[in-house]
Structure 1
Amino acid sequence: MKKTLVSALTTALVVGAASTTFAAANPFSDVPADHWAYDAVSQLAADGVIEGYGDTTFRGNQNITRYEMAQMIAKAMAKTDVSAADKALIDKLAAEFSDELGNLGVRVSNLERNADMVKWNGLVEYTYTSTRHDTNTSKKVKNNDDDLVFRLEPKAEVNKNWDVHARLDADIKLDSDKGHDGTVDLKRVWAEGHYDNFNVKLGKLPNAINLISTTDDPYSGAAVTFGKDFKVTLEGGRLDATQFGDMGRNMDGLLPSNSNDVFKKGDDTVNFQAINLGYAKNKFYGNAGYEHMDGATLVANSLPKAYNNDYKAGKDSEYKANIWFVNAGYRFDHNSFFKAEYAQNTEADNYDNAYSFEYDYKGAQQQNKGSWGMYLAYRNLGQYAAPWSTYGDGVDGGQKGIEVGTGYTLFKNVQLFAKYFNGKDIAADKDAEKLFGRVDVFF
């Protein structure tokens, strides 16, 4: 399936939208910003049923507590002049947050409360990616990928304080019509407990500290979060280090042929610990934290000396990372949001820092047909400070440059995404480009 970069860009911008860059800005809360309730409340806000936080804003880019979400739902339940579609959304939200509504003195029928103890959400996702790298020769390296993902995300309620979450993915490479031997991968499974201003997760779980330097893959372990406006999050467990294989970009900007070129087979997991201090109130949020990883074995000469001080030519060495990070964001009004991030790996001798500046305008809401958003960002992701960045759909680890994106909700539960990156592979100091297009169909 061959396409030129120009024709692919034209196609993606016609159907595209801005992917996950509008995701959670403040991860220290009970309700993640990609929860379906956000789109439901955004739709109710767009229809004038609720007014958000009381300052005429709904901070859909930030995580909030379940209590705050219940307050919004309670206001919506008090309305009588709502459409049938909005009433259905309110009923669904009331069932999800029935315990918190009960604490507010809002009664929810037992039928609503006990309905659908196991909830199923999911999506079908098509992604097209085209990358180009200049090299030290006259040859340009190009790569196009067409991927299709079918995803299920069940949630089962155990009791009023505990529930169980999972995520299952089936991937197909459309350019070769091949999947992973027809298998479905269990990507995540964890139990989660909610107790007022305390939250705990156990299992194979997503990172609660979802910042510039953090791995985009889940880890096996535990996470606890406590606090209200000021929150503390602690994480610990084991992490698959093979995802960091792209740290080995050579001077042509190319990746190793596979992760075994970097990590020793059978010794390719790391110990992982992290702490984050976060504050969010009104239109501002800020975070500061630290991540430590060690344990995997780097194959001799697989990475340049720039990696860390334990490097010795011709000998295996231990993977280590001590990454400090800060970020902050501010919402100017209902449409405009700005955030900045910085991270540094004190174990690395080079490519040891990463930073990002991003401006968002509006945002595509899953439930709101015709809603749209766009963003402009500059990112410099030193590969040892951002070994597997959450921004990998656009600027990747080991790259720097400008990224733009746009988003559009074509129909309810059908969203279109596009991004374009233009910059350099940092180590190679050569030009690089990436075009990213995605279509998500939610159910």
Structure 2
Amino acid sequence: MLKKSLICLTSSLIMMNMGTSFANENPFDDVPQDHWSRTAIVDLVNKGVIKGYDDNTFKGDQKITRFEMAQMVAKAMANENLSKEDKQELDKLQKEYHDELDNLGVKITKLEERSSNMKFNMNLTQKYMGGKQPNGPKEKAHYWEKYLSIGMEAPIGNSGYTMHALYENKHAGENLNHETQSSGFGTNGVTQAWIEGNLGKTGQYAKLGSFSPWSQKGFVYDGKIIGGELTHWYKAGATHFFGGRVYESEWDLGVPGSINWDKGPDYIEKGHSIQNPDGSWGWVSDVEHWSTKSNAYSDFTRHHKTTEVIRGGDTNWEHKDPTGEDDYGGVYKYDAKGNRISNSRPTLWGAGYEYNFSPNLQGTLAYYNFKSDAYGGDPLEIYSGMLNYKVGKDLNLQAQYAHGNQGGEDNAWNIELQYKGTPWINNRIPHNFGAYVGYRYMAPDAIVKGNFDGVLAGQKGLEIGMFYTFDENVNACLKYAFGEAIASGEDRDRLYASVSYEFF
């Protein structure tokens, strides 16, 4: 027995993949005009897949038999105007209702043959990034990148599960067409691979492998994990549970601040005596003062106990870390000389709930637990919320907030006005245009990994952007951000531009 609400959910996913323009007329008296599944139901009626009951009702809460479900599948299979995405969904449904369809005399041989085919998609993007950012000795930096991704999806026999994989390759450099392969983790090879599908008859949809988990549009965490996720959909929302090992580079998760040094306020000149930790006195012939508040190459340094370290040279005095914990604000342990002394892998787990208050208002609440060597090894617990409000036909207002439990800069927020749902405009429509303006406060102690191209982690400022499709699946993007680093107060600005080609 199946509930029709689950059927509506499946059809809703089909409609979203198709990008279909839905009809506005509601054919059933018992389906509210603002119900989340109305558009999918109307579209299925128009296609002749369902027709409801004689009293002009849909009875969405009533259970139906497998035979009734098979009849719907058979009607859908007979429709000659179905898209490629529709047919792929039907390939999955016909396996589940094979016996019932056979009793109806429906021939499914061709569908079974097609179900063994794999689906591919590819993205090729040329990017440019430049501006006043933490670039070591350079005032400004210019950075070019070529990005290639190839995605694959295939059914796993008749199990109802599908296998997914993503290959990514990045080449980057300071000059166009002179890029070299990017250093760092996961920039050349299969970076994601997972299986997904319904977990029996539990109502849970499961993912297992290396993938990007649900995370409120990437505000708190825009990255990958090696682990699992369970999702359960309701009439007006969904719950999400996920967890695993974090699969991202150190520089995207928070860097140590101990690699910078200067004289600082407590600098001790050469030729002076200084008391050793054991009470004896030594002669200072060479002293380095390390400042661990910020980093010369990134603003994403987390709150930490060690803010200043002084290390002696030729004397027996050497003060590496007054806390004794080698906590310099990174996700791995470093000593005062900048040497990494830890190889632990950070982990992330969390839960979220999303709810549709109305067709124009949606909200989410979530909890994240991020454990690394940062904060002395204590987990960073983050509580986050998000609201989306549809102001008009093409305008959307989005507000996000996150709070961490480890002190420092632990309140992050973002408010953004979007035109035509950017940055997810329909790229299959030639000459489509979208734009946005937003103010970000990407506090380093309230996020795990940032997701914006303009205002980066550890920064605050204004970001504006626009998107345009020159032709079907050919997209251009232009973004500009200006503000400052949260920890140091230094000015920041960044220009981001890209042209993407997508193939399906």
* TM-score, with structure 1 as normaliser: 0.72
Q: How does 1:26-425 map to 2 (within 5 A)?
A: 38=16, 40-41=18-19, 44-45=20-21, 50-51=22-23, 71=41, 74=44, 77=47, 90-98=82-90, 111=110, 114-115=113-114, 117-133=117-133, 141-158=139-156, 159=158, 161-173=160-172, 175=175, 176-180=178-182, 184-194=188-198, 197-211=203-217, 213-228=219-234, 229-240=236-247, 242=250, 243-246=252-255, 248=257, 254-255=296-297, 262=330, 263-264=332-333, 265=340, 266-280=342-356, 281-294=358-371, 296-298=372-374, 308=375, 317-318=376-377, 320-347=379-406, 349-363=407-421, 364-391=425-452, 393-425=453-485
Q: Quote the offset at 1:429 in angstroms.
A: 1.0
Which whole-Å CA distance do the structure 1 matches of 2:15 and 2:296 have between them?
41
Which whole-Å CA distance do the structure 2 matches of 1:425 and 1:36 have between them?
43
Which whole-Å CA distance do the structure 2 matches of 1:90 and 1:434 have between them?
44
Which whole-Å CA distance do the structure 1 matches of 2:392 and 2:133 have between them?
39
SS in 2 for 1:95: helix
Q: Quote the offset at 1:74 in angstroms.
A: 3.0
Which whole-Å CA distance do the structure 2 matches of 1:37 and 1:335 have between them?
19
Structure 1 residues 106-115 or 330-339, which shifts more? 106-115
Structure with higher strand content: 1
- Taking structure 1 as reference, are residues 225 and 258 closer, same or farther at Cα in structure 2, changes over 3 Å only? closer
Which whole-Å CA distance do the structure 2 matches of 1:187 and 1:214 have between them?
20
- Taking structure 1 as reference, are residues 112 and 353 closer, same or farther at Cα in structure 2, changes over 3 Å only? same
Q: Deviations over 1:119-178 (max 9, x none)?
A: 00111111111121489x9x8721111110111000011236311111101111253431
- Which one scores higher on RCO, CA 8 angstroms, separation ≥ 6? 1
Where do 5+ consecutive residues of structure 2 fail to align? 1-7, 28-34, 50-78, 259-291, 302-327, 334-339
Which whole-Å CA distance do the structure 2 matches of 1:233 and 1:131 have between them?
38
* TM-score, with structure 2 as normaliser: 0.64
Identity of aligned residues (%): 20
- Taking structure 1 as reference, are residues 377 and 90 closer, same or farther at Cα in structure 2, changes over 3 Å only? farther
The answer to whether the 8 A contact 1:373-1:406 is kept is: yes
Which whole-Å CA distance do the structure 2 matches of 1:387 and 1:350 have between them?
14
Q: Quote the offset at 1:372 in angstroms.
A: 0.8
Where do 5+ consecutive residues of structure 1 fail to align? 1-28, 56-63, 80-86, 299-307, 309-316
Supply the RMSD in Å over aligned alpha carbons. 4.0
Which whole-Å CA distance do the structure 2 matches of 1:183 and 1:351 have between them?
30
- Taking structure 1 as reference, are residues 171 and 212 closer, same or farther at Cα in structure 2, changes over 3 Å only? closer
* Counterpart residue number, 2:497: 437
- Based on CA coordinates, which of the two structures has the bigger radius of gyration? 2
- Taking structure 1 as reference, are residues 254 and 191 closer, same or farther at Cα in structure 2, changes over 3 Å only? same
Structure 1 residues 68-77 or 143-152, which shifts more? 68-77
